[in-house]
Amino acid sequence: MIEEQVVLVDPQGQVQGVQEKMQAHREGALHLAFSVLLYRETAQGREFLMHQRALGKYHSGGLWTNTCCSHPRQNETIEQAGLRRLEEEMGITGITQLHDIASFVYRAELDNQLTEHELDHVLVANINTIEMAPNLNEVMAYRWWSQSELEQALATAPQQFTAWFPQVLKHVIHH
């Protein structure tokens, strides 16, 4: 098995090298990441496809977050990585383009003595119909949330969401 690596960057996104993924999370090294958030327009308003991370994930198990998220590989574009992970995590194929609408740097102390310190790119796509077959090693549950329902849940029970999700949603709503 090939060890998974993350791309280390400075705060401006300039590549500084690569590091083994778990080591980067133990040390809190700044690295590239992306968060995909698929949405659809309905008669009731915009809805977002969310997933609940599997309990066995290396951090943030059981928490709700955007459609999928991960790290690009060395020499892989953010968009290519997003499309790859949509298929690997959610079993979603057929999306041909993701739009990189924003990026932000955040640092969060997580469970399991791990730290996320990421330059996170927010990728979106507006979809009408979709088929999915989530990977049970990655995803415990999934569902569509209305924007108002998400905003209410973030205000009243933010602990049910991943550390990065509030910023992802804020960028999508204000885009």
Catalytic-labelled residue, pool 69, 76, 109, 149: 69
99 is in an annotated binding site: no
Q: State yes or no: is 3 an active-site residue.
A: no
Q: State yes or no: is 41 an active-site residue.
A: no
Catalytic-labelled residue, pool 3, 41, 88, 118: 118
CA-nearest of 7, 128, 130, 125 to 66 is 125
151 is in an annotated binding site: no
79 is in an annotated binding site: no
Q: Output the six-digit token pair for 87.
A: 């298929």
Q: Output the six-digit token pair for 122.
A: 């927010």
171 is in an annotated binding site: no
Please give the radius of gyration of the chain, using alpha carbons only, rounded to the nearest integer.
15
Q: How far apart are CA 62 and CA 145, in angstroms?
A: 17
* Residues in Cβ contact with 54 at an 8 Å cutoff, skipping those fewer than 6 apart: 61, 136, 137, 138, 139, 140
Binding residue numbers for Mg(2+): 89
Binding residue numbers for Mn(2+): 25, 31, 71, 116, 118
Catalytically annotated residues: 69, 118
Binding residue numbers: 25, 31, 71, 89, 116, 118
